[in-house]
Amino acid sequence: MDYKFINMEYLDSVSGGDPGIINEIVVIFKEQSVEIYNEMKSLLAAKKYTSLGLLAHKAKSSVAIMGMTSLAEMLKTLELQAREGKETQLYESYLERFISETKEAIRELDELISNRLNSNK
């Protein structure tokens, strides 16, 4: 199965291929991605750019675990820009990309777990 957003090989390498660990990672990722997005929206609305940059750094680590290197690079850009308050007109589009791609990644992760559970039966 080809995945567009997650890197299954990377996920297997960080989990040792253990389905239980993968499931735990997925549950944490689901919770964190929604929380991070909501907090990012609040920080952006309040124009708290330094805090937004710090949160982008945290989000970068979360998506990197899933092998989402392109999104991690975009979050690195947001982190650096927000810390300096530069290119503020781009932040909203960064947040929209973050939520869009994490939702797709979650869909792929659910499919991955379902496929693996079914193949173990």
Q: What are 6-59's pLDDT values in tens digits?
A: 888 888 888 887 878 888 888 888 899 999 999 999 999 999 999 999 999 999
88: DSSP letter: G
pTM: 0.86
For residue 105, how many other CB atoms are within 10 A of its CB? 24
Q: Are 6 and 106 in contact (CB under 8 A)?
A: no
What does the pLDDT look like over 58-116, one tens digit per residue?
999 889 888 899 999 999 999 999 999 999 999 999 999 999 999 999 999 888 888 77
38-59 core/surface letters (b: 16 or more CB in 10 A; e: else): eebeebbeeeebebbbebbbeb
At residue 121, the pLDDT reads 54
**For residue 108, which of 36, 22, 16, 15 has the smallest C-alpha distance?**
22
pLDDT of residue 96: 96
Structural domains for the chain = 8-119 (1.20.120)
Q: Give me the pLDDT at residue 92, please.
A: 96
Amino acid at 51: S
